[in-house]
Amino acid sequence: MTNPLLSEWTGPFGIAPFAEIEDAHFAPALDEALTAHMAEIDAISSNSDAPSFENTVEAMEGAGKGLDQVLSVFFSVAGADSNDARQALQRDFSPKLSAHFSAINSNKALFERIETLWQTRDTLDLDAEQARVLMLTRRSFVRGGAALDGAEEERMTEIKSRLATLGTSFVQNLLKDEADWMMPLSAADLADLPEFVQDAAKAAGAEKDAGGPVVTLSRSLIVPFLQFSPNRALRKTAYEAWGARGANGGETDNRGLAAETLALRKDRAALLGYPDFAHYKLETEMAGTPSAVRELLMEVWSAAKAQADKDAQILEAMLHADQFEGPLEPWDWRYYAEKRRLAEHDLDEAEVKPYFQLDRMIEASFACATRLFGLNFAPLDVPLYHGDCRAWEVSRNGEHVAVFIGDYYARASKRSGAWCSAMRAQARKPDLRTPIVVNVCNFAKPPKGKPSLLSYDDARTLFHEFGHALHQMLSNVDYDSVSGTSVARDFVELPSQLYEHWLEVPEVLAEFATHADTGEAMPQELLDKVLGAATFDMGFATVEYVASALVDLAFHEGAPPADPMQKQAEVLEAIGMPRAIGMRHATPHFAHVFAGDGYSSGYYSYMWSEVMDADAFEAFEEAGSAFDAATAKRLEETVLSSGGSVDATELYTEFRGRMPGVDALLKGRGLAA
């Protein structure tokens, strides 16, 4: 019997034959695909012909087709429709895959061929994309330690494995501290809270067998508690427990782990020839250097701090009006800010929701892509991995462009959040591949016969993920490894965050934000409230975020701190952190930075992208229309079609004529002077 995961996929546009795939197919298919991929890699590295771009780099790009097929289906269902069997498979697959790719990275014969090509690159007659793919391929081998030998190679392996252990312990300690703490609520304290917080506190109490409602350290419960509880003493207790996660002494204390992690990262960077970890990490990012990151953060910091200081005065006056003395404290901010929000932007979710119907918002996201890029969307009837998924064929001028799949509803088998992934990334060489892209969201599924209604935030999420999808679908490159969203981390959110702006375009809302029952457009007054609420308390949000980003950067630049808590205190002191605002993530629970390498000295990147998206949308405003044809064409030809085949700075400069300043971001966040 042939395994459908490894057979030739002959259905429409080469979509996986989901109806034929069973869980039992995954494990044998993965083993077979890994073996086949390794054989292809061995054939490339042991080729007796002298290395050429085609027989080495391009051959690597084309290798592993079976592995791509297996993983594209597996990761789709593991994330969006998991079950016990799939979770068990995931635990098996993850060490197998990391061993597989680390074996390829340490294949000396293969690296030698790549190095030879790199040394002779000027004589190879490569086009610009090939030259870049060669540079990126070699760089990734070198950064993985492929150029090290002997004791250095051993030390690198040792460091990597210790760092992996430290990252896992960091997260486990955090989970333990979070699980261990709870605060019971009396009937009176419970009654002070809005119904949804009461429900959450009761559910948490039931889950923990606490015999009554409790507050826990889960962000989705403690943040609304801090927003709504008028009991200042309880807020203080809860806030301090939340801030102490990972710093409670004993076995779950993360402070020693953080210090060891930072020291090992510095050693790792030194082995590879970098002055420190921040320089190593930022080399592959658009920002490039620690000083470029710091410059951006400090520009935003001054404006945000000025706004936060003003807001603090207003909130402190509210505190005093409540007969409390002394300064505003961190456990007060959210409570008084919420009171102020209600007074200034009285926004009733229930009034807004009927205007944001899922189907109309999908139509809106498509209609904007039609006007901007000439894309057309036709429903496609194919079996997918779950009955709630829908598919469309995307075409332009009658030519096939991509398949787009939307999987919008929450279900128990889906992990939380929203994401975009390519089941197949676009490429032309060595084989032609058109993209198959999926957007996964977690919107509440409506009762049968009722329309699905979104919050404004949900609608933004839909546009955000569709922006990532456009980046994949409009990709127009030769090689898979630089296709679509395969770009620097601080560039990848540009297309998605940029696309959110079209949801705010008045004519888009007028046409698509129509009432589910009456069909009428949203009244201007309500629309103004929705848009106004989006920038409320941005001084606070920006300060807590930028402070964390600056501490992250300081940790990884120069000598590693022996005492990270001391370093954190120094950084906050130097920037004049407002006393009533805490860091969004303090060191002992800063999982972005210590759970793994993903966002270490990279926490800034959300803001880097936001600077660009705000500035990029201004290009349309300057041209006089959110749908200006020439600007849309330029956006596609530079940012959206090039993936990682061209340096991000070059792409942005080509689109905008210059690099962005922070003005548009400050305006967008309501922080401009």
When the beta carbons of 45 and 496 are compared against Zn ion, the nearer one is 496
Distance CA 430, CA 532 (A): 50
When the beta carbons of 493 and 636 are compared against Zn ion, the nearer one is 493
Residue range at the interface with Zn ion (CB under 5 A); choices 47-55, 237-245, 485-493, 663-671: 485-493
When the beta carbons of 332 and 493 are compared against Zn ion, the nearer one is 493
When the beta carbons of 478 and 613 are compared against Zn ion, the nearer one is 613
When the beta carbons of 226 and 498 are compared against Zn ion, the nearer one is 498
Residue range at the interface with Zn ion (CB under 5 A); choices 198-206, 402-410, 494-502, 596-604: 494-502
Contacting residue, 76, 173, 485, 496, with Zn ion by CB under 5 A:
496
CB of 305 to Zn ion, least distance (A): 27
CB of 111 to Zn ion, least distance (A): 33
CB of 230 to Zn ion, least distance (A): 37
Question: Which of 122, 7, 114, 99 is CA-nearest to residue 60?
Answer: 114
Q: Which of 61, 129, 465, 500 is catalytic?
A: 465
**633 CB-near residues (< 8 Å, 6+ apart):** none
Q: Which residues pair with 405 in a beta bridge?
A: 391, 438
Give the x-and-dash track for 134-173 against Zn ion (CB under 5 A). ----------------------------------------
When the beta carbons of 197 and 287 are compared against Zn ion, the nearer one is 287
Distance CA 217, CA 655 (A): 44
Is residue 609 near Zn ion by the rule CB under 5 A?
Answer: no
Q: Is 378 exposed, middle or buried (0-12, 13-18, 19+ CB in 10 A)?
A: exposed
State the number of binding residues for Zn ion (CB under 5 A): 2
**CB pairs under 8 A, 24+ apart, for 311-314?**
311/337, 311/537, 311/539, 311/540, 312/578, 312/580, 314/340
Q: Which residues pair with 424 in a beta bridge?
A: 436
- 595: phi then psi, degrees, rounded to nearest 5: -75, -20
CB of 496 to Zn ion, least distance (A): 4
Largest CA distance in the chain: 84
DSSP secondary structure string, 432-479? -B--EEEEEEEEPPPPTTSPPB--HHHHHHHHHHHHHHHHHHT---S-
Residue 465: active-site member: yes
Residue range at the interface with Zn ion (CB under 5 A); choices 240-248, 282-290, 493-501, 657-665: 493-501
CB of 464 to Zn ion, least distance (A): 6
CB atoms within 10 A of CB 592: 18
Residue range at the interface with Zn ion (CB under 5 A); choices 82-90, 346-354, 496-504, 628-636: 496-504
CB atoms within 10 A of CB 320: 13
- CA-angle at 664, arms to 337 and 644, nearest 5°: 115
Is residue 542 near Zn ion by the rule CB under 5 A?
Answer: no
SS3 9: coil
Residue nearest to Zn ion (CB): 496
When the beta carbons of 437 and 551 are compared against Zn ion, the nearer one is 437
Residue range at the interface with Zn ion (CB under 5 A); choices 3-11, 51-59, 378-386, 495-503: 495-503
CB of 493 to Zn ion, least distance (A): 5
Give the catalytic positions in this structure. Answer: 465
Under the rule (CB under 5 A), what is the footprint of Zn ion?
493, 496
